[in-house]
């Protein structure tokens, strides 16, 4: 399996192309309001990847067991920064 993600960015434009083998599709992520760069940061995209994997796993494993799943709703979250990194005693 070959997986890739390509990003093309210029003033006011941000294009994302995803590919797995011969399956190619785009993901709509607007540019930053300033015009350059992505309005989504890497951390947000990382958590989108985690949430997507989780959902796909639920559908796949349910299908293997003959369980019908009509809808999923979930959220991936994390905290960072000085307060998140404090050690609790």
Residue 78's pLDDT band, with cuts at 50, 70 and 90, is confident
For 35: left if phi > 0, alpha if psi spans -120 to 50, otherwise beta; the answer is left
CB atoms within 10 A of CB 38: 16
Tokens of 26: 């785009």
Residues 63-73 pLDDT 10s: 999 999 999 99
61, 54 contact by CB (below 8 A): no
pLDDT per residue as tens digits for the range 25-45: 999 999 999 989 999 999 999
Cα atoms in the 13 Å half-sphere on the side-chain side of 25: 4
For residue 72, what pLDDT is reported? 94
Note the pTM of the prediction, 2 decimals. 0.76
Rounded CA-CA distance 7/54 in Å is: 24
Q: Which of 22-31, 38-47, 76-85 is predicted least confidently? A: 76-85
* Angle, vertex CA 33, rays to CA 7 and CA 5, nearest 5: 10
């Amino acid at each position: 399996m070959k997986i890739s993600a390509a990003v093309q960015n210029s003033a006011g434009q941000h294009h994302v192309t995803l590919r797995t083998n011969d399956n190619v599709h785009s993901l709509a992520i607007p540019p930053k309001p300033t015009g350059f760069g992505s309005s989504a940061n890497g951390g947000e995209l990382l958590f989108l990847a985690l949430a997507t994997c989780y959902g796909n796993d639920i559908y796949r494993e349910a299908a293997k067991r003959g369980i019908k799943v009509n809808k999923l709703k979930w959220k991936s979250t994390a905290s960072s920064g000085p307060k998140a990194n404090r050690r609790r005693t």
